[in-house]
Structure 1
Amino acid sequence: MSANAELVIDLDQYRANLAALRAHAPGALQMAVVKANAYGHGMVPVARAARQASVDWLGVATPAEALELRAAGDHGPLLCWLAVPGAPFTELIGADVEMTASGVDQLEAIAAAGDRPRVQLKVDTGLSRNGAFGPHWDDLVAAAARMQAAGRIEVTGVWSHFASADEPEHPANDHQEAVFRAAVDQLAAAGVHPALRHLANSAAAVTRPSSHFDLVRLGIATYGIAPDPAVPVPDVRPILTARTVLANVKRVPAGSSVSYGWRWSADRETTLGLVPVGYGEGIHRTASNRAQVGFAGGRAPVRGTICMDQLVVDLGDRPARIGDPVTVFGPGDDGEPTAQDWADAAGTIAYEIVTRLAGRWSRTYRGER
C-alpha cells in the first residue's frame, strides 16, 4: 500500500449484487443510488460499473453529484432530488439531468431554467422530509398539470420514500403506499400520467413487491449491506474491505493503560498493535473499547480511546510484527468484522460506517473495465 490504509472495492461483486437484486423486482426498472460518494465507495467508478451492469437509472442527491457524473462521462438516465434555492438548474437541464420538484416554487424555478425540462414530482407520504403533502401536494399537482399543458415542462415521474421499509411489519408501510397510490391517482385525474412511479428502496425491493411499481431505487443493498440486520438480502455480499498494516507492536506489562483518558488498562501482560487509522479516516470514536479488527485469521479487540490518526488493538500472545496486515472490516469471509459489526459497536447503522469513510484512505478498485 502506498498510503497508511487502503479501501479495496470489488466492482465485480457490485455488478453481481445488482444482478441478484434485479431478481427481486424483475418487473421494475432498476436505479442504482450512488449519492454520498457511492455510500463511501467512490461515486464515479461505482457509477461506471452500474452502467456496465445495465442499470436503467442512476440516482444522486445533489446537483454537484449529478454534474460530477456528467463531467466524468456518464450519459444515461440520471435523477437528482435535493436542490436548494439558487441551484444550477440551467446547467442541469443542459446536462440532461432529471430533477425533482417538491413544491410549486421549485417547479417554477426548474421550468424557468430551460426549454421543457423533464421533472419528477415528489410527494411526502409520511416521512415528513422532502416532498409535498396535503394542500401543498394539491397545489403542486395543479401547477404541474398547468405547466405541462402549456408545454413548459414534461412530468416524467412521481415518487416518494418509505420511512420504515426496514421494518416490514411497521404500519407506516401500508399507510405510505396507500397515500402514494392516491397521489398517483390525483395526478392522473389532473391529466398528468408520468411513465415512472417509484417508492421502493432496498428494503422494500426485497420485502414488499406491491411497492415496486415502475422502478425500484437500490442503495445500501447494492453495496452488499443489509438495510437492517433483521432484513437480510439474499445473494449479495459486501464489496468493500478496509485494510491497513500494524504501524507499531509492543509488549506491555499488566497494569499498562492505553490511549487518551486511560479508559482501558491491561489485566495481564499482552501485546499491543498500533493501527494507523482513526476518526480522521471516519472511524467512529464511539466504538472505542467495543470494536474489533481482523488479525491473523481471528479478531483483536480495540483497546482504549480511538484517536484521530490511530487506534490500539490487543493482540494477546499472538506473534506480531510491524507491517503485519490488519483488516478493519470487510465481507467477513476470513473472520474479520463487517461494517455491521462496527455499527453495532458504535451504536449506529452500517450506512454510516461506510459513508463517512474519508481522510487518508487510498482506494483500489478490482474488476474495473
Structure 2
Amino acid sequence: MHTESEPIITPVTAALLRGALDLEHTAHGLRPHRLPAWARAQYADGQLAMAQAQPSGVRLAFRTRATTIELDALRTKTAYVGAPPRPDGVYDLLVDGRPVGQAAVTGGNVHVVDMATGSAETRPGPVGTVRFPVLPEGAKDVEIWLPYNESTELIALRTDAPVEPAPDSGRKVWMHHGSSISHGSEAAGPASTWPARAASLGGVELINLGLAGSALLDPFTARVMRDTPVDLISVKIGINLVNADVMRLRAFVPAVHGFLDTVREGHPTTPLLVVSPILCPIHEDTPGPSAPDFSGLGEGRLRFVAAGDPAERAAGKLTLQVIRDELSRLVAQRSADDPNLHYLDGRGLYGEADHAELPLPDQLHPDAATHRRMGDRFAGLVFTGDGPFAPGRAA
C-alpha cells in the first residue's frame, strides 16, 4: 500500500465479523467457523469439517473513510489429484451495499485430495494479502465477503483511515441450512451465492448454514439452529440424503419431524420454511448414491452419475420426488398446528424449463447464472407479497 503516512493496522476481531457462529484463535489469526466447537466435536467427518470452515456468508463489516484496504489472510485451498488447479476463491467488496470490487488472496495452504483413494494431505504456504486499492471517498459502510470455497485465517486490515465496526443494521436475521447448492457451488463470488443474493434483495442479514455434502438432518445442526437468535429460518432438505444414500423412507420421515421439533424448541413461532430439492434429473426417480465420473477429470471436467437402481424405491430408497412428496405431506400435517411453518417446492427455484436453458454443468450443481436466478426467485417467492418472510407476515 502506498500512502503519504503509515497505514493503520486493525486486527480482525469478532466485532468486525458477521455470519460466523464460532471464531477460533490460531497461530496466525482468527479462523471463522459456521458450526460451534461443540457441534464440530460430535462427528469427526472430514467433509463436514472442511465445509463448515469455508466461510460462506461470513463477512467483515465496518465503517471507514479509507480509500485503500488490504486484508492479510492465510487461506487453505482444496486441490484434487489429477485435476487442473481449481480457481482461486474470491473476496467480494461491497460499499454501502453495492458491489465495487473482487479480488483473491495470494499464498496459502493447499489441501490435496485424492478422490480415487480418499486420502488427503495439507501442504503449508505463506500468508497472503487481498487488496482493494481504489475506494470511493468519504464515510461509508464496507463489507468484505469471504470466499465460500476456501477456509481462511484472518490476520489484519491495513487502511489509510480508521476502521470501526459497522453499526447494527436493524434488519431481520435469516438463517438458512442446505447443501453445497446453498453453500455456493459454482457461484460467481461469495456475495453472489443464491442465499446471499436473496438476502440482499430481501433486506435481511444472512447466516448461511449451507454445508456442502452435509445437509443430512444431523441433530447437532438442528440444535445449533435452535440456539441461534434469528428472525427467519429456512431448511432445504433432500439432495445430500440421496447423494450419500444415508437413510431409507422409514428413517427419513421421523428424522425430519425430529429436526423440526428441535428447531421449534428454540423458535416456537419464528417463520420456518421447508424447501424441497431443486430439479436434478439424475436423481428425480433414481436413488443414490451419487458417484463421480472421473473420465473428464484430466480436462477439468468432473461429472456425477446416479449409482442407484430405480427398482430400489420399493425397498424405501429415497429419490428427489419421493422426498418432495413426503416433505409436502409432512409440512401440511404439521402446519395445522403450526401456522408459521411453510413449504416451498424447490422446482420453483430451478425446474424443468430452467434446466433446458441452464443445465447443471456436473449434473448436480448450478452455475453462476443459475445462482443468480435462484436468488431472484427465492426473494420474489419468499420475501415479497404473500411470501412467508414478507414484512407483513414475518414475526
Note whether the superposition's TM-score is higher than 0.5: no
Structure showing greater Rg: 1
